[in-house]
Amino acid sequence: MSFFDRISGKKKSAQNAKERLQLVLTHDRTDMTPAVLEALKDELIEVISRHIEIDPDAVNIDVARAGREQRLIADIPLKAKTRQRGR
């Protein structure tokens, strides 16, 4: 890597290869495309919102890798309930 690459902040090509492979292998192993993930997220938000109050923008759904296992991770923060105190 040249000096100019370094000051321009260009990524080392091995790192680029690894990141691209991580995405492509997740897709190859699971048929999980970004579009599927997005659709899943929208529907999950809809279903959960029917029962409890959540902030749709805070919901995060992703595929995590653990060894050769792929795991669908949904992070759904619950809204704090404004408590009614005293009677």
H helix or E strand, kind and range, residue 22? helix 13-30
CA nearest 41: which of 58, 53, 25, 59?
59
- Nearest distance in Å: CB 1, other proteins: 6
Cα 50 to Cα 75: distance, rounded to the nearest angstrom = 17
Query: How does DSSP classify residue 54?
Result: B
Q: Which is nearer to other proteins, 13 or 49 (CB)?
A: 13
- Nearest distance in Å: CB 40, other proteins: 22
Tell me the residue length of the chain: 87
* Residue type present at position 55: D
Instruction: Find the binder of other proteins among 20, 42, 62, 77 (CB under 8 A).
Output: 20
Q: Which is nearer to other proteins, 64 or 78 (CB)?
A: 64
Interacting residue ranges for other proteins, rule: CB under 8 A:
1, 12-15, 17-18, 20-22, 24-25, 28-29, 65, 67-68
